[in-house]
Homo-oligomer: A and B are copies of this chain.
Protein backbone atom coordinates (compact mmCIF):
# COMPACT_ATOMS: atom_id res chain seq x y z
CA UNK A 1 0.00 0.00 0.00
CA UNK A 2 1.28 3.41 -0.94
CA UNK A 3 2.31 5.55 2.01
CA UNK A 4 1.69 2.80 4.51
CA UNK A 5 2.87 4.28 7.82
CA UNK A 6 6.00 2.99 9.44
CA UNK A 7 4.46 3.39 12.86
CA UNK A 8 0.91 3.58 14.05
CA UNK A 9 0.54 4.77 17.62
CA UNK A 10 -2.72 3.87 19.29
CA UNK A 11 -3.47 6.50 21.92
CA UNK A 12 -2.74 10.22 21.98
CA UNK A 13 -1.98 10.65 25.63
CA UNK A 14 1.42 11.98 26.68
CA UNK A 15 3.12 8.62 26.15
CA UNK A 16 1.66 7.99 22.71
CA UNK A 17 2.23 11.53 21.49
CA UNK A 18 5.79 11.62 22.79
CA UNK A 19 6.58 8.32 21.07
CA UNK A 20 5.04 9.70 17.87
CA UNK A 21 7.11 12.85 18.19
CA UNK A 22 10.34 10.93 18.71
CA UNK A 23 9.62 8.52 15.86
CA UNK A 24 8.70 11.36 13.51
CA UNK A 25 11.88 13.21 14.47
CA UNK A 26 13.80 10.16 13.28
CA UNK A 27 12.19 10.21 9.89
CA UNK A 28 9.48 7.59 10.28
CA UNK A 29 6.03 8.03 8.84
CA UNK A 30 3.87 8.15 11.96
CA UNK A 31 0.13 8.05 12.42
CA UNK A 32 -1.51 8.50 15.85
CA UNK A 33 -5.01 7.13 16.38
CA UNK A 34 -7.20 8.64 19.10
CA UNK A 35 -10.77 9.92 18.98
CA UNK A 36 -10.11 12.29 21.88
CA UNK A 37 -6.43 13.14 22.46
CA UNK A 38 -5.49 13.78 26.06
CA UNK A 39 -8.86 12.69 27.42
CA UNK A 40 -7.55 9.73 29.39
CA UNK A 41 -5.62 9.53 32.61
CA UNK A 42 -3.51 12.57 31.73
CA UNK A 43 -6.56 14.81 31.85
CA UNK A 44 -6.93 13.95 35.51
CA UNK A 45 -3.24 13.67 36.42
CA UNK A 46 -1.54 16.24 38.62
CA UNK A 47 1.76 16.06 36.77
CA UNK A 48 4.13 15.35 39.63
CA UNK A 49 7.60 14.29 38.48
CA UNK A 50 8.41 12.56 41.72
CA UNK A 51 10.71 9.57 41.54
CA UNK A 52 11.89 10.28 45.07
CA UNK A 53 8.55 10.78 46.80
CA UNK A 54 7.08 7.92 44.76
CA UNK A 55 9.87 5.48 45.63
CA UNK A 56 8.08 2.74 47.55
CA UNK A 57 9.28 -0.40 49.26
CA UNK A 58 9.63 -3.29 46.86
CA UNK A 59 9.55 -1.29 43.64
CA UNK A 60 13.27 -0.88 43.07
CA UNK A 61 13.25 -1.44 39.33
CA UNK A 62 10.37 0.97 38.87
CA UNK A 63 12.20 3.55 40.97
CA UNK A 64 15.18 3.20 38.66
CA UNK A 65 13.07 3.90 35.62
CA UNK A 66 11.31 6.83 37.32
CA UNK A 67 14.65 8.32 38.26
CA UNK A 68 16.01 7.85 34.76
CA UNK A 69 12.98 9.52 33.25
CA UNK A 70 12.89 12.39 35.74
CA UNK A 71 16.52 13.07 34.86
CA UNK A 72 15.45 13.51 31.24
CA UNK A 73 12.65 15.94 32.09
CA UNK A 74 14.60 19.23 32.10
CA UNK A 75 15.94 18.71 28.59
CA UNK A 76 12.68 17.16 27.43
CA UNK A 77 10.67 20.14 28.70
CA UNK A 78 13.08 22.60 27.11
CA UNK A 79 13.06 20.81 23.76
CA UNK A 80 9.29 20.47 23.80
CA UNK A 81 8.75 24.09 24.73
CA UNK A 82 10.96 25.14 21.83
CA UNK A 83 9.36 22.70 19.41
CA UNK A 84 5.77 23.53 20.29
CA UNK A 85 6.21 27.15 21.24
CA UNK A 86 4.18 26.83 24.42
CA UNK A 87 4.91 26.70 28.12
CA UNK A 88 4.17 23.29 29.61
CA UNK A 89 4.24 24.47 33.22
CA UNK A 90 7.48 22.70 34.13
CA UNK A 91 8.41 23.87 37.64
CA UNK A 92 11.43 23.00 39.74
CA UNK A 93 10.58 24.31 43.21
CA UNK A 94 10.75 20.79 44.56
CA UNK A 95 8.46 18.73 46.72
CA UNK A 96 7.81 18.98 50.45
CA UNK A 97 6.74 15.77 52.16
CA UNK A 98 4.98 16.47 55.45
CA UNK A 99 3.25 14.66 58.29
CA UNK A 100 0.33 16.25 60.12
CA UNK A 101 0.25 14.20 63.32
CA UNK A 102 2.91 12.31 65.20
CA UNK A 103 1.56 9.09 63.71
CA UNK A 104 1.62 10.56 60.22
CA UNK A 105 5.17 11.73 60.73
CA UNK A 106 6.26 8.31 61.96
CA UNK A 107 4.79 6.69 58.87
CA UNK A 108 6.42 9.26 56.61
CA UNK A 109 9.81 8.87 58.28
CA UNK A 110 9.82 5.13 57.61
CA UNK A 111 9.47 5.87 53.91
CA UNK A 112 12.01 8.69 53.97
CA UNK A 113 14.52 6.36 55.59
CA UNK A 114 13.93 3.83 52.84
CA UNK A 115 14.30 6.49 50.17
CA UNK A 116 17.52 7.79 51.73
CA UNK A 117 18.75 4.23 52.10
CA UNK A 118 18.59 3.64 48.35
CA UNK A 119 20.46 6.86 47.75
CA UNK A 120 17.64 9.22 46.89
CA UNK A 121 17.97 12.90 47.85
CA UNK A 122 15.59 13.33 50.78
CA UNK A 123 16.42 16.10 53.25
CA UNK A 124 14.56 16.11 56.56
CA UNK A 125 13.62 19.62 57.63
CA UNK A 126 13.20 21.06 61.09
CA UNK A 127 9.75 22.58 61.64
CA UNK A 128 11.16 26.10 61.40
CA UNK A 129 12.88 25.30 58.12
CA UNK A 130 9.65 23.74 56.86
CA UNK A 131 7.70 26.89 57.67
CA UNK A 132 10.38 29.11 56.23
CA UNK A 133 9.81 27.29 52.96
CA UNK A 134 5.99 27.26 53.16
CA UNK A 135 4.59 29.66 55.74
CA UNK A 136 1.04 28.67 54.76
CA UNK A 137 1.43 25.17 56.23
CA UNK A 138 -0.83 24.53 59.19
CA UNK A 139 0.79 25.04 62.59
CA UNK A 140 -0.31 21.48 63.39
CA UNK A 141 2.02 19.99 60.75
CA UNK A 142 4.58 18.09 62.81
CA UNK A 143 7.44 17.74 60.41
CA UNK A 144 8.61 17.27 56.88
CA UNK A 145 11.34 16.61 54.38
CA UNK A 146 12.38 18.07 51.07
CA UNK A 147 12.68 16.16 47.82
CA UNK A 148 14.38 18.92 45.92
CA UNK A 149 14.62 17.05 42.64
CA UNK A 150 10.92 16.10 42.49
CA UNK A 151 9.40 18.61 40.08
CA UNK A 152 6.10 19.10 38.29
CA UNK A 153 4.58 19.77 34.88
CA UNK A 154 1.02 20.57 33.83
CA UNK A 155 -0.41 17.57 31.94
CA UNK A 156 -3.14 19.68 30.38
CA UNK A 157 -0.47 21.85 28.81
CA UNK A 158 1.76 18.91 28.05
CA UNK A 159 -0.65 17.06 25.79
CA UNK A 160 -1.39 19.91 23.36
CA UNK A 161 2.32 20.77 23.30
CA UNK A 162 3.24 17.18 22.44
CA UNK A 163 0.58 17.08 19.78
CA UNK A 164 1.91 20.26 18.19
CA UNK A 165 5.47 19.00 18.37
CA UNK A 166 4.52 15.63 16.89
CA UNK A 167 2.53 17.19 14.08
CA UNK A 168 5.30 19.70 13.32
CA UNK A 169 7.71 16.78 13.11
CA UNK A 170 5.43 15.15 10.53
CA UNK A 171 3.16 12.86 12.51
CA UNK A 172 -0.50 12.66 11.54
CA UNK A 173 -3.34 12.46 14.04
CA UNK A 174 -6.33 10.35 13.05
CA UNK A 175 -9.24 11.21 15.34
CA UNK A 176 -10.83 7.78 15.37
CA UNK A 177 -10.91 4.91 17.81
CA UNK A 178 -9.04 1.67 17.16
CA UNK A 179 -11.26 -1.22 18.19
CA UNK A 180 -8.89 -3.95 17.10
CA UNK A 181 -5.26 -4.07 16.09
CA UNK A 182 -6.43 -5.54 12.79
CA UNK A 183 -7.85 -2.08 12.02
CA UNK A 184 -4.34 -0.66 11.96
CA UNK A 185 -2.20 -0.85 8.84
CA UNK A 186 1.37 0.00 9.72
CA UNK A 187 4.72 -1.74 9.86
CA UNK A 188 4.77 -1.40 13.63
CA UNK A 189 1.90 -0.64 15.95
CA UNK A 190 2.65 0.96 19.29
CA UNK A 191 -0.14 0.44 21.78
CA UNK A 192 -0.07 3.46 24.09
CA UNK A 193 -3.77 3.27 24.86
CA UNK A 194 -3.61 3.25 28.65
CA UNK A 195 -6.41 1.12 30.04
CA UNK A 196 -7.58 0.49 26.49
CA UNK A 197 -4.49 -1.67 25.94
CA UNK A 198 -6.15 -4.56 27.73
CA UNK A 199 -8.88 -4.98 25.12
CA UNK A 200 -6.43 -4.49 22.25
CA UNK A 201 -3.65 -6.77 23.45
CA UNK A 202 -4.91 -8.94 26.30
CA UNK A 203 -2.20 -7.48 28.51
CA UNK A 204 -3.08 -7.38 32.22
CA UNK A 205 -3.77 -3.67 32.35
CA UNK A 206 -6.62 -2.77 34.67
CA UNK A 207 -8.21 0.56 35.53
CA UNK A 208 -7.22 1.97 38.91
CA UNK A 209 -9.62 4.74 39.69
CA UNK A 210 -8.28 8.04 40.96
CA UNK A 211 -10.30 11.01 42.08
CA UNK A 212 -8.94 14.53 42.24
CA UNK A 213 -10.27 17.96 43.08
CA UNK A 214 -9.09 21.11 41.40
CA UNK A 215 -9.11 24.35 43.34
CA UNK A 216 -8.26 27.84 42.27
CA UNK A 217 -6.79 30.63 44.35
CA UNK A 218 -9.44 33.28 44.88
CA UNK A 219 -9.17 36.57 43.04
CA UNK A 220 -7.13 35.19 40.17
CA UNK A 221 -3.80 35.17 42.01
CA UNK A 222 -1.21 32.45 42.36
CA UNK A 223 -1.57 29.90 45.15
CA UNK A 224 -0.04 30.82 48.48
CA UNK A 225 2.55 28.06 48.28
CA UNK A 226 5.26 27.13 45.80
CA UNK A 227 6.28 23.55 46.42
CA UNK A 228 4.37 20.46 45.57
CA UNK A 229 3.20 19.29 48.99
CA UNK A 230 2.70 15.62 49.68
CA UNK A 231 1.19 14.99 53.03
CA UNK A 232 0.05 12.38 55.42
CA UNK A 233 -2.91 13.86 57.25
CA UNK A 234 -4.60 11.70 59.87
CA UNK A 235 -3.75 8.66 57.83
CA UNK A 236 -4.90 10.18 54.56
CA UNK A 237 -2.33 10.58 51.80
CA UNK A 238 -2.82 13.71 49.75
CA UNK A 239 -0.86 15.88 47.39
CA UNK A 240 -1.26 19.55 46.64
CA UNK A 241 0.17 20.76 43.34
CA UNK A 242 0.27 24.54 42.84
CA UNK A 243 0.27 26.04 39.36
CA UNK A 244 1.34 29.50 38.35
CA UNK A 245 -2.14 30.26 37.00
CA UNK A 246 -3.69 29.79 40.46
CA UNK A 247 -4.77 26.18 40.09
CA UNK A 248 -4.15 23.69 42.87
CA UNK A 249 -4.65 20.01 42.15
CA UNK A 250 -5.61 17.99 45.22
CA UNK A 251 -5.29 14.25 44.78
CA UNK A 252 -5.72 11.44 44.66
CA UNK A 253 -7.60 8.35 45.62
CA UNK A 254 -6.33 4.94 44.51
CA UNK A 255 -9.32 2.65 44.06
CA UNK A 256 -9.69 -0.77 42.49
CA UNK A 257 -12.72 0.34 40.51
CA UNK A 258 -13.31 1.07 36.87
CA UNK A 259 -16.05 3.69 37.05
CA UNK A 260 -15.36 7.40 36.78
CA UNK A 261 -17.99 8.60 39.23
CA UNK A 262 -16.91 11.20 41.74
CA UNK A 263 -17.91 10.17 45.25
CA UNK A 264 -18.84 12.42 48.15
CA UNK A 265 -16.55 10.48 50.47
CA UNK A 266 -13.50 10.87 48.26
CA UNK A 267 -14.00 14.59 47.84
CA UNK A 268 -14.55 14.91 51.57
CA UNK A 269 -11.35 13.03 52.40
CA UNK A 270 -9.28 14.97 49.88
CA UNK A 271 -10.58 18.36 50.98
CA UNK A 272 -10.28 17.54 54.68
CA UNK A 273 -6.66 16.45 54.30
CA UNK A 274 -5.86 19.42 52.08
CA UNK A 275 -7.37 21.98 54.45
CA UNK A 276 -5.80 20.29 57.46
CA UNK A 277 -2.38 20.70 55.86
CA UNK A 278 -2.91 24.11 54.31
CA UNK A 279 -5.82 25.92 55.95
CA UNK A 280 -6.00 28.72 53.41
CA UNK A 281 -7.25 26.23 50.83
CA UNK A 282 -10.69 26.43 52.49
CA UNK A 283 -11.03 29.85 50.88
CA UNK A 284 -10.07 28.61 47.44
CA UNK A 285 -12.66 28.09 44.74
CA UNK A 286 -13.57 24.50 44.05
CA UNK A 287 -13.59 24.43 40.27
CA UNK A 288 -13.55 20.75 39.33
CA UNK A 289 -14.05 17.30 40.73
CA UNK A 290 -12.98 14.48 38.48
CA UNK A 291 -12.20 10.80 38.40
CA UNK A 292 -9.88 9.03 36.00
CA UNK A 293 -8.63 5.54 35.31
CA UNK A 294 -4.94 4.84 35.66
CA UNK A 295 -3.60 1.91 33.63
CA UNK A 296 -2.48 -0.34 36.46
CA UNK A 297 -0.50 -3.55 36.18
CA UNK A 298 0.00 -6.48 38.53
CA UNK A 299 3.41 -5.20 39.68
CA UNK A 300 2.64 -1.45 39.39
CA UNK A 301 5.29 -1.11 36.68
CA UNK A 302 4.70 -0.18 33.05
CA UNK A 303 4.63 -2.64 30.20
CA UNK A 304 7.17 -1.64 27.58
CA UNK A 305 8.21 -3.69 24.59
CA UNK A 306 7.00 -6.01 21.85
CA UNK A 307 4.32 -8.55 22.56
CA UNK A 308 5.71 -12.08 22.67
CA UNK A 309 5.36 -13.51 19.21
CA UNK A 310 4.24 -10.17 17.80
CA UNK A 311 7.34 -8.08 17.14
CA UNK A 312 5.22 -5.71 15.11
CA UNK A 313 3.13 -4.80 18.14
CA UNK A 314 4.91 -2.82 20.84
CA UNK A 315 3.28 -2.07 24.16
CA UNK A 316 3.85 1.24 25.92
CA UNK A 317 1.20 1.14 28.59
CA UNK A 318 0.56 0.28 32.22
CA UNK A 319 2.15 3.48 33.48
CA UNK A 320 -0.27 3.56 36.41
CA UNK A 321 0.49 6.56 38.63
CA UNK A 322 3.61 7.41 36.65
CA UNK A 323 2.60 8.23 33.10
CA UNK A 324 3.71 11.85 33.15
CA UNK A 325 7.12 11.33 34.74
CA UNK A 326 7.77 8.29 32.55
CA UNK A 327 6.89 10.02 29.29
CA UNK A 328 10.43 11.05 28.22
CA UNK A 329 12.14 7.75 28.90
CA UNK A 330 9.27 5.78 27.41
CA UNK A 331 9.34 7.88 24.27
CA UNK A 332 13.10 7.68 23.89
CA UNK A 333 13.40 3.94 24.47
CA UNK A 334 10.36 2.90 22.45
CA UNK A 335 11.40 5.11 19.53
CA UNK A 336 14.88 3.61 19.71
CA UNK A 337 13.39 0.13 19.75
CA UNK A 338 11.16 0.86 16.77
CA UNK A 339 13.94 2.49 14.75
CA UNK A 340 16.81 0.15 15.52
CA UNK A 341 15.10 -3.02 16.69
CA UNK A 342 17.37 -3.04 19.71
CA UNK A 343 15.88 -2.88 23.16
CA UNK A 344 17.72 -0.76 25.70
CA UNK A 345 18.61 -2.79 28.80
CA UNK A 346 16.52 -0.35 30.83
CA UNK A 347 13.47 -1.91 29.21
CA UNK A 348 14.21 -5.47 30.25
CA UNK A 349 12.30 -5.52 33.56
CA UNK A 350 9.26 -4.08 31.86
CA UNK A 351 8.79 -6.56 29.02
CA UNK A 352 5.23 -7.72 28.31
CA UNK A 353 6.62 -11.24 28.49
CA UNK A 354 6.85 -11.04 32.30
CA UNK A 355 3.13 -11.77 32.50
CA UNK A 356 1.50 -15.07 31.66
CA UNK A 357 -0.49 -14.83 28.46
CA UNK A 358 -4.25 -15.00 28.81
CA UNK A 359 -6.10 -18.08 27.71
CA UNK A 360 -8.39 -17.65 24.74
CA UNK A 361 -11.87 -16.85 25.92
CA UNK A 362 -10.76 -15.86 29.39
CA UNK A 363 -10.80 -12.10 29.97
CA UNK A 364 -7.50 -10.75 31.22
CA UNK A 365 -7.38 -9.99 34.91
CA UNK A 366 -4.80 -8.64 37.29
CA UNK A 367 -2.46 -11.40 38.43
CA UNK A 368 -4.51 -14.07 36.67
CA UNK A 369 -2.89 -17.47 36.95
CA UNK A 370 -2.99 -19.56 33.84
CA UNK A 371 -5.83 -21.98 34.54
CA UNK A 372 -4.13 -24.58 32.33
CA UNK A 373 -0.96 -24.43 34.41
CA UNK A 374 -0.10 -27.87 35.78
CA UNK A 375 0.15 -28.34 39.53
CA UNK A 376 3.68 -27.81 40.72
CA UNK A 377 4.75 -26.10 37.52
CA UNK A 378 5.87 -22.48 37.89
CA UNK A 379 3.56 -19.99 36.22
CA UNK A 380 4.96 -19.14 32.83
CA UNK A 381 6.25 -15.63 32.73
CA UNK A 382 6.12 -15.17 36.46
CA UNK A 383 8.60 -12.63 37.71
CA UNK A 384 10.36 -10.14 35.51
CA UNK A 385 13.02 -12.46 34.16
CA UNK A 386 11.16 -14.43 31.53
CA UNK A 387 12.42 -13.48 28.10
CA UNK A 388 10.17 -12.95 25.15
CA UNK A 389 9.91 -15.90 22.83
CA UNK A 390 11.50 -18.28 25.26
CA UNK A 391 9.42 -21.26 24.28
CA UNK A 392 5.96 -22.50 23.50
CA UNK A 393 3.30 -21.27 25.81
CA UNK A 394 0.95 -23.66 27.50
CA UNK A 395 -2.58 -23.02 26.39
CA UNK A 396 -1.56 -20.63 23.65
CA UNK A 397 -3.61 -20.50 20.50
CA UNK A 398 -2.44 -19.31 17.12
CA UNK A 399 -2.91 -15.65 16.39
CA UNK A 400 -5.72 -14.79 14.06
CA UNK A 401 -3.24 -13.52 11.54
CA UNK A 402 -5.10 -10.25 11.21
CA UNK A 403 -2.05 -8.32 12.23
CA UNK A 404 0.70 -8.58 9.65
CA UNK A 405 4.00 -9.80 11.03
CA UNK A 406 5.87 -9.91 7.76
CA UNK A 407 7.31 -6.51 6.99
CA UNK A 408 7.41 -5.40 10.58
CA UNK A 409 10.41 -3.26 11.43
CA UNK A 410 10.88 -2.50 7.77
CA UNK A 411 11.63 1.11 8.58
CA UNK A 412 14.06 0.19 11.27
CA UNK A 413 16.07 -2.13 9.15
CA UNK A 414 15.61 -4.87 11.68
CA UNK A 415 14.41 -8.39 11.19
CA UNK A 416 11.17 -9.84 12.46
CA UNK A 417 11.90 -11.41 15.76
CA UNK A 418 14.76 -9.21 16.81
CA UNK A 419 12.67 -7.30 19.25
CA UNK A 420 12.84 -9.48 22.31
CA UNK A 421 12.81 -7.00 25.13
CA UNK A 422 15.90 -8.44 26.75
CA UNK A 423 17.87 -7.61 23.65
CA UNK A 424 18.17 -11.23 22.52
CA UNK A 425 17.02 -12.00 19.04
CA UNK A 426 15.91 -15.04 17.14
CA UNK A 427 13.35 -16.25 14.67
CA UNK A 428 9.84 -16.65 15.92
CA UNK A 429 7.86 -19.72 15.02
CA UNK A 430 4.11 -19.59 14.64
CA UNK A 431 3.86 -21.89 17.64
CA UNK A 432 5.06 -19.02 19.73
CA UNK A 433 2.25 -16.77 18.64
CA UNK A 434 -0.55 -16.56 21.11
CA UNK A 435 -3.48 -14.49 22.10
CA UNK A 436 -1.83 -11.20 23.08
CA UNK A 437 -4.00 -9.41 20.57
Instruction: List the interface of chain A (C-beta within 8 A of B).
Output: 213, 215, 218, 261-265, 267-268, 271-272, 274-275, 281-287, 289
Contacts and interface: CB of A to CB of B under 8 A. Distances in A.
A286 B272 contact: no
A261 B275 CA distance: 18
27 contacts: A215-B264, A218-B261, A218-B263, A261-B285, A262-B285, A262-B287, A263-B282, A263-B283, A263-B284, A263-B285, A263-B286, A264-B271, A264-B274, A264-B281, A264-B283, A264-B284, A264-B285, A265-B275, A265-B281, A265-B282, A267-B267, A267-B286, A268-B271, A268-B275, A268-B282, A272-B272, A289-B289
Grouping DSSP codes into helix (H, G, I), strand (E, B) and loop, the A interface class, with mixed when no group exceeds half, is helix
A260 B167 CA distance: 41
A213 B264 contact: yes
Copies in the complex: 2
A267 to B, nearest CB: 5
Contact of A271 (B215, B267, B281, B284): B267
Contacts of A261: 218, 285
B264 A272 contact: no
Contacts of A287: 262
Contacts of A215: 264
A262 B264 CA distance: 15
A304 to B, nearest CB: 35
A229 to B, nearest CB: 15
Nearest to A289: B286
A283 B264 CA distance: 6
Pairs of residues from A and B, 5 with the lowest C-beta to C-beta distance, nearest first: A265-B282, A268-B271, A261-B285, A262-B286, A264-B286
| Most chain B beta-carbon neighbours within 10 Å: one of A265, A268, A282, A289 | A268
A213 to B, nearest CB: 7
Given A218-B261, A262-B287, A268-B282, 12 more contacts: A215-B264, A262-B285, A263-B283, A264-B271, A264-B282, A264-B284, A264-B285, A264-B286, A265-B281, A268-B272, A271-B271, A272-B272
A272 B274 CA distance: 14
A289 to B, nearest CB: 6
Contacts of A272: 268, 272
Contacts of A271: 264, 267-268, 271
B268 A264 contact: no
A265 B218 CA distance: 12
B264 A275 contact: yes
**Most chain B CB inside 10 Å of its own CB: which residue of A262, A265, A272, A275:** A265
Contacts of A285: 261-264
Contacts of A289: 286, 289
Contacts of A262: 285-287
Nearest to A276: B268
Contacts of A274: 264
A44 to B, nearest CB: 15
Contact of A265 (B263, B265, B283): B283
A211 to B, nearest CB: 9
Nearest to A281: B264
A268 B280 CA distance: 13
A287 B282 CA distance: 20
Nearest to A214: B264
Nearest to A265: B282
A303 to B, nearest CB: 31
A218 to B, nearest CB: 7
A136 to B, nearest CB: 14
Contacts of A286: 262-264, 267, 289
Residue among A261, A264, A271, A289 with the highest chain B CB neighbour number at 10 A: A264
Nearest to A275: B268
A275 B266 CA distance: 11
A248 to B, nearest CB: 9
A265 B271 CA distance: 8
A282 B262 CA distance: 10
